[in-house]
Amino acid sequence: MQPIAAQLSAQGVADVAAYYSMLPTTPDPQDNRSFPQPMSDPEKARMAEDLIVFGDGHRGIPPCQACHGPVGYLKGAPPLIPQNGDYLLTQLKHFSDGSRANDINVVMRSVAKQLTDEEKTAVSEYYGAGRGPAAGTPHPAGVPAPQ
Ligand code: HEC
């Protein structure tokens, strides 16, 4: 992928991204994982659930589910269940150090900056395992819910 991506101009990257973002989401026929998967560390699972359901008012962290579903779906906030956990963790690190800065109004950078490394790992593993409040709730945009 790297040699292909390296040949794209900035305009090319923007065009390809716009094109793919408009395609309907379809399930990957080669993905035969089943969800939700167990989490070995119950403490980590609880830490993730607290952030997803309640956030942390003291630190100004809104609940993840208010934007990523199922409670609310902020336009532009992608579903996190069950994206790859390592990918999610990398994104949270990049938002918190500012190397990913495409979030309008600094929404995710301000959330991620507040999270400890342990919390970033916990929520990433939790979502990556296909867990989440009311998993199975259909996404309004028709994204298939994990079974
Ligand atoms: C106020 C709304 C809001 C809240 C609350 C919020 N997010 Fe986000 N999040 C967004 C938006 C919007 C994006 C998309 C940014 C972009 O790329 O334009 C996003 C993107 C992300 C991404 C990158 C996903 C991808 O596909 O690349 C991750 C990971 C993420 N959020 C995790 C979290 C976690 C974990 C929490 C809770 C601790 C949380 N978010 C709380 C709005 C929110």
What residues of the chain score a pLDDT lower than 50? 139-141, 143, 145-147
Contacts of 134 (CB under 8 A, 6+ apart): 70
Among protein residues, the one whose CA lies closest to atom 20 of ligand 1:
77
102: its two tokens: 């495409």
Query: Chain-wide mean pLDDT for the chain?
Result: 88
The model's pTM is: 0.84
Contacts of 115 (CB under 8 A, 6+ apart): 51, 61, 92, 96, 123
Quick one: pLDDT at residue 145? Answer: 47
Q: How far is the CA of 46 from the centre of ligand 1 (A)?
A: 19
Contacts of 31 (CB under 8 A, 6+ apart): none
Radius of gyration of the chain (CA): 16
> In whole angstroms, what is the distance from residue 21 CA to residue 36 CA?
26
Among protein residues, the one whose CA lies closest to atom 27 of ligand 1:
91
Among protein residues, the one whose CA lies closest to atom 19 of ligand 1:
77
Task: Tell me the CA distances in angstroms from 57 to 46, 82, 111, one per residue in order.
Answer: 17, 26, 12
CATH numbers and ranges of domains, the chain:
41-134 (1.10.760.10)
Quick one: pLDDT at residue 97? Answer: 97
Contacts of 59 (CB under 8 A, 6+ apart): 114
Ligand 1 pocket test, candidate residues 71, 104, 108, 126, most atoms within 8 A of CB:
108
pLDDT tens-digit profile of 49-77? 999 999 999 999 999 999 998 888 888 89
